[in-house]
Amino acid sequence: MPASGEPVYWLGNDTLRVSAALFAENRRRLCQGLKAKCELVPKSVVVLQGGEQKQRYCTDTDVVFRQESFFHWAFGVIEADCYGAIHMDSGKAFLFVPKLPESYATWMGEIYPREHFKEKYAVDEVHYTSDVSKVVTAQQSSMLLSSRGLNTDSGSTCREASFEGISRYVSKTSIIHHCHLVCLFKIFCFSTTAMRHISFTCIRGSGHNCSVIYYGHPGAPNDKTIEDGDMGLFDMGGKYYCYTSYITCSFPANGKFRIVRVEENIVVTADGIELLTCVPRTVEEIEAFMPEGRDSSKSFSPVVCSDTF
């Protein structure tokens, strides 16, 4: 930090000075752009995860760290294992840094207090990474926004932020796939009940993929994009002490159930779409209907259905 007190990144002598105001402007532009393109609920919060420090294979030698680009663009932080959050309504910036053990000082040098990072990066608040969920909850936010998408140069996927407690919120990413929800399920199993293993390959289908019995296999690895209005099927279970749980449930991706009525053996939705009921069907009937799914115009032989919905 220069004598003027303005926070800058500077390595001394004739090296370039980069003001922290640049990243504040980037955050402002991010909020402005999201508000223009997304349907946001009040008090939405953007959460970004910085790069993680890695070791060289099985050794204790660190790979030279370089910050994750999106996180650096928004916060200018050079330290590893950090998170950042931006309150969309106020533009308030939060930085989350690791709480280091005392032994860190012996090997790595001084452990700085949170106030040090607040001044260094000119953010509104600094907390420890263990408090991400608590701080976000305090903002009374019902929607989190994070970054996810395909890097077309490398072919690799940019992953959204992940932290303990994220499953409590409605989370919007640029693209949400079935694999994202499988990931959240595994996190929930491990973090809440210490179930390290799952019972079987998770089946998380939506739309026509709900009809694939073993969806989730290598040829269709829970990779479909979830569309608004899709009905989701969750066929998953955790394993505890070699005992398996097995729970299957379905609900709409957008949380809105459409009105349905029963006409003999056919469930008819509010928009006139015919769906199978619990009435036993022949293999031929099911196979004829499932490939076309919601778009099917096929009908079935009359069977009286006494079940109610």
Please name which of 122, 14, 33 lies closest in space to residue 77, comparing C-alpha atoms: 122
Pair (147, 16) in one structural domain: yes
Query: In the chain, how many domains are there?
Result: 3
Please name which of 187, 191, 219, 164 lies closest in space to residue 47, comparing C-alpha atoms: 164
Q: In percent, how much of the chain has pLDDT > 70?
A: 69
Pair (219, 251) in one structural domain: yes
Structure confidence by residue, pLDDT tens digits, 233-285 = 777 888 776 777 777 777 677 666 554 444 444 444 555 555 555 555 555 55
Pair (58, 193) in one structural domain: no
Pair (27, 167) in one structural domain: yes
Select from 147, 175, 203 the last residue of a domain. 175
146 exposure class (CB count in 10 Å sphere: 0-12, 13-18, 19+): buried
In this prediction, residue 134 has a pLDDT band, given cuts at 50, 70 and 90, of very high
Helix (H, G, I), strand (E, B) or coil at 8: strand
Residue 13 lies in a domain: yes
In whole numbers, what is the pLDDT of the chain averaged over residues?
A: 76
299 pLDDT above the threshold of 50: no
Pair (157, 18) in one structural domain: yes
Residues of the domain holding 205: 176-257
Helix (H, G, I), strand (E, B) or coil at 160: coil
Q: What mean pLDDT comes out for the span 19-32? A: 96
At position 30, the amino acid (one-letter code) is: L
The dihedral through the CA atoms of 171, 177, 178, 182 has a sign that is: negative
Select from 113, 144, 175 the last residue of a domain. 175
Please, are residues 163 and 188 in contact by the beta-carbon 8 Å criterion?
A: no
Q: How far is CA 149 from CA 52, 146, 175, in A?
A: 19, 10, 6
Please, are residues 56 and 62 in contact by the beta-carbon 8 Å criterion?
A: yes
User: What is the rounded distance in angstroms from the CA atom of residue 193 to the CA atom of residue 12?
Assistant: 50
User: What is the rounded distance in angstroms from the CA atom of residue 97 to the CA atom of residue 132?
Assistant: 10
15 pLDDT above the threshold of 80: yes
Select from 175, 206, 234 the last residue of a domain. 175
Structure confidence by residue, pLDDT tens digits, 168-214 = 654 554 444 555 666 777 777 777 777 778 777 777 777 777 767 66
Please, are residues 182 and 204 in contact by the beta-carbon 8 Å criterion?
A: yes
Describe the chain by its helix, strand, coil percentages, rounded to 5. Answer: 25, 25, 50
Structure confidence by residue, pLDDT tens digits, 87-107 = 999 999 999 999 999 998 888
At position 20, the amino acid (one-letter code) is: A
What is the structure's pLDDT at 124? 98
- Output the pTM of the full model: 0.56
Pair (276, 243) in one structural domain: no
Please name which of 26, 64, 19, 63 lies closest in space to residue 48, comparing C-alpha atoms: 26
Provide the greatest CA pair distance for the chain.
Answer: 86
Helix (H) or strand (E) holding 138: helix 132-138
User: What is the rounded distance in angstroms from the CA atom of residue 127 to the CA atom of residue 309?
Assistant: 49
Helix (H, G, I), strand (E, B) or coil at 116: helix
